[in-house]
Chain A
């Protein structure tokens, strides 16, 4: 029982900052259209970024998890660099790398622009969240005994079938955590996005502009909406991952 009380205290301490929502900041400033627009931008573009992260990151995680120790360390170093960069610095680097002095002219030639466009928003989110997803996925894959994968191959299944029927079901909880972290990281990203894609404004940038223009009364409703739209997907991923598969 004492453990449960300690856990409850931990939870209360973790959520304590939310008490700020009840602070006397004056009447909340609801701008329904602006909030809806920010929610639409954040959810749709983050979802698109997650599709790219999962599609490119999962094969890479599989590759790293099965790579020899030396090569594995190299890749993990590469991923850590992308994770460790301060968001603002990453945003500046992305702007420069895809700007007029680097890839910018080439991209412009194909009609793509990586400043203040939905494409810039998605690319930035992919950069900020990819490392989290791949590192998490590699850790999840490390928990699957290689002997079981070998056994599945010996029973006549190719690599894709082994992943689908053995590796993923055994690592699904870790994949759910990795995806949740990537989702949260991308959705909440401000520092990098504010440099590369001030427009279209997602939730974090909308909170910033709300604070700038109207002060705290504009921030509070945005925070509530933000929590309401950000939480369900990673939570659902956890719920689905913890369900026992049929036949087990």
Chain B
């Protein structure tokens, strides 16, 4: 479960968002570019330091500067950030503790096959394409089976076929493994496939929250209606 209130001062406005996501639930953060969605995720992940609020992941209070390596979090952005000096296989296994390496083999093999990275498994990470790198980054994040998964527009810039495959795989694993997930994207179509409900953010504030049906039926602001309108 994620129970968070994130306060972070930005140049134009202060982000102040309260977010409750039940254990095993997937929640979308939706809004225009620059609304503060990524800031919320970065603060929860610990990559940015919030100016106030409190963040709890399950029973763990991560607000008092809990070191990044102790947070049970998987965090993925548009940048794959693969380790270029390691092979794809070593990148995927990077987060596994020594003891978990053998027990995690079956899971890693499933990730490898499902994300279709078996053909590049022994390749150096520096030698693979951007789309392949993104798939490897997904595998690396999920290999640890994090309690909370935070996705910050990890599908942007990928071709439609790959996005469809990745979204389907993530949705299945989220249901099967039961991890809690928060997804940021400005494409409603992607969020709808991954999350049953969403929080809409405008200039650092949550302006509406609910299921996609509720959001569509009665958009709280003109911008919400605009964001949800079909192309």
Binds A, one of B89-97, B154-162, B187-195: B89-97
In this assembly, does B71 line the interface, its C-beta being within 8 Å of a C-beta of chain A? yes
Residue interface mask B59-84, A partner, CB < 8 A = 1: 00000000111010111000101011
> Which A residues are CB-close (under 8 A) to B47?
150, 154
CB within 8 A of A153: which of B69, B97, B126? B69
Residue interface mask A149-168, B partner, CB < 8 A = 1: 01111111110000001100
Asked if A155 and B94 make an inter-chain contact with CB atoms under 8 angstroms apart, the answer reads yes
Asked if A154 and B73 make an inter-chain contact with CB atoms under 8 angstroms apart, the answer reads yes
In this assembly, does A248 line the interface, its C-beta being within 8 Å of a C-beta of chain B? yes
Per the bound structure, the CA–CA distance linking A145 and B47 in Å amounts to 15
> Which B residues are CB-close (under 8 A) to A157?
69, 95
Asked if A156 and B97 make an inter-chain contact with CB atoms under 8 angstroms apart, the answer reads yes
Asked if A166 and B83 make an inter-chain contact with CB atoms under 8 angstroms apart, the answer reads yes
Asked if B73 and A247 make an inter-chain contact with CB atoms under 8 angstroms apart, the answer reads no
Asked if A248 and B67 make an inter-chain contact with CB atoms under 8 angstroms apart, the answer reads no
Cβ distance A222 to chain B, nearest Cβ, rounded Å = 42
Which secondary structure dominates where chain A touches chain B?
helix
CB within 8 A of B68: which of A150, A165, A170, A244? A150
Per the bound structure, the CA–CA distance linking A151 and B95 in Å amounts to 10
Asked if B90 and A148 make an inter-chain contact with CB atoms under 8 angstroms apart, the answer reads no
Residue interface mask B83-107, A partner, CB < 8 A = 1: 1111101100011010000000000
In this assembly, does B45 line the interface, its C-beta being within 8 Å of a C-beta of chain A? yes
Per the bound structure, the CA–CA distance linking A245 and B126 in Å amounts to 13
Residue interface mask B9-31, A partner, CB < 8 A = 1: 00000000000000000000000
In this assembly, does B124 line the interface, its C-beta being within 8 Å of a C-beta of chain A? yes
A147-B79, A147-B81, A248-B124 known; A154-B68 Cβ under 8 A:
yes
A169-B85, A245-B85, A248-B124 known; A154-B140 Cβ under 8 A:
no
Asked if B144 and A248 make an inter-chain contact with CB atoms under 8 angstroms apart, the answer reads no
Asked if B124 and A155 make an inter-chain contact with CB atoms under 8 angstroms apart, the answer reads no
Residue interface mask B127-157, A partner, CB < 8 A = 1: 0000000000000110010000000000000
Interface size class of B (residues with CB under 8 A): 20 to 34
Cβ distance A243 to chain B, nearest Cβ, rounded Å = 11
Cβ distance A78 to chain B, nearest Cβ, rounded Å = 28
Cβ distance B108 to chain A, nearest Cβ, rounded Å = 14
Asked if A154 and B124 make an inter-chain contact with CB atoms under 8 angstroms apart, the answer reads no
Asked if B83 and A152 make an inter-chain contact with CB atoms under 8 angstroms apart, the answer reads yes
* Nearest chain A residue, comparing its CB with the CB of B125: A248
Q: Taking each of B46, B83, B90, which has the highest tally of chain A beta carbons within 10 Å of its own beta carbon?
A: B83
Asked if A154 and B75 make an inter-chain contact with CB atoms under 8 angstroms apart, the answer reads yes
Per the bound structure, the CA–CA distance linking A141 and B227 in Å amounts to 43
Asked if A248 and B85 make an inter-chain contact with CB atoms under 8 angstroms apart, the answer reads yes
Asked if A152 and B94 make an inter-chain contact with CB atoms under 8 angstroms apart, the answer reads yes
Asked if B69 and A247 make an inter-chain contact with CB atoms under 8 angstroms apart, the answer reads no
> Which B residues are CB-close (under 8 A) to A169?
85
Residue interface mask A119-145, B partner, CB < 8 A = 1: 000000000000000000000000001
> Which B residues are CB-close (under 8 A) to A166?
83
Asked if A170 and B85 make an inter-chain contact with CB atoms under 8 angstroms apart, the answer reads yes
Asked if A153 and B67 make an inter-chain contact with CB atoms under 8 angstroms apart, the answer reads yes
Q: Taking each of A156, A157, A165, which has the highest tally of chain B beta carbons within 10 Å of its own beta carbon?
A: A156
A148-B83, A245-B85, A248-B124 known; A155-B140 Cβ under 8 A:
yes
Shortest 3 CB-CB contacts between residues of A and residues of B: A155-B95, A153-B68, A151-B81
Contacts A151-B81, A152-B94, A154-B75 supplied; 18 other A-B pairs, CB < 8 Å = A147-B79, A147-B81, A148-B83, A150-B68, A154-B45, A154-B68, A155-B69, A155-B94, A155-B140, A157-B69, A158-B69, A170-B84, A245-B85, A247-B89, A248-B85, A248-B87, A248-B124, A248-B125
Chain A contact residues, CB within 8 Å of chain B? 145, 147-148, 150-158, 165-166, 169-170, 244-245, 247-248
- Sample 30 A-B pairs with CB under 8 A, ordered by A number: A145-B81, A148-B81, A150-B47, A150-B68, A151-B81, A151-B83, A152-B94, A153-B67, A153-B69, A154-B47, A154-B68, A154-B69, A154-B73, A154-B75, A155-B95, A155-B140, A155-B144, A156-B69, A156-B95, A156-B97, A157-B95, A158-B67, A165-B83, A165-B94, A166-B83, A169-B85, A244-B85, A248-B124, A248-B125, A248-B126
